[in-house]
């Protein structure tokens, strides 16, 4: 799965969306596999502790930020703007 980060970055570049690197690529996910994909693939990670993985587990695995859920769009946008 980490290789998919580079694929997405390339496709965005080819679509004229600009350059994407670790500082400008964000993965949002709720599993430890999502965290490792982000870290190994070269992306920032927003963990969502709404599933079976706790906020503590996501942070310990390397998530940059953890949210309880995605119901607060303004909160998510603030987090993304902070990257």
pLDDT tens per residue, range 13-38 = 999 999 999 899 999 999 999 999 99
CA dist., res. 25 & res. 17, Å (int): 12
Model confidence pLDDT, tens digit, residues 52-74: 999 999 999 999 999 999 999 99
Cα–Cα distance, 67 to 50 (Å, whole number): 8
pLDDT at 58 (0 to 100): 98
Integer Cα distance of 76 and 12 in angstroms: 21
* Both tokens assigned to 80: 């993304």
Q: Which residues contact 81 (CB under 8 A, 6 or more apart)?
A: none
């Amino acid at each position: 799965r980490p290789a998919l980060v580079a694929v997405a970055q390339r496709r965005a570049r080819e679509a004229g969306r600009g350059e994407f690197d670790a500082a400008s690529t964000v993965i949002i996910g709720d599993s430890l596999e999502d965290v490792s994909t982000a870290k190994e693939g070269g992306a920032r990670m927003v963990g969502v502790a709404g599933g079976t993985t706790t906020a503590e587990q996501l942070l310990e695995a390397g998530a940059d930020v953890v949210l309880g859920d995605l119901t607060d769009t303004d909160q998510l946008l603030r987090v993304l703007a902070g990257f």
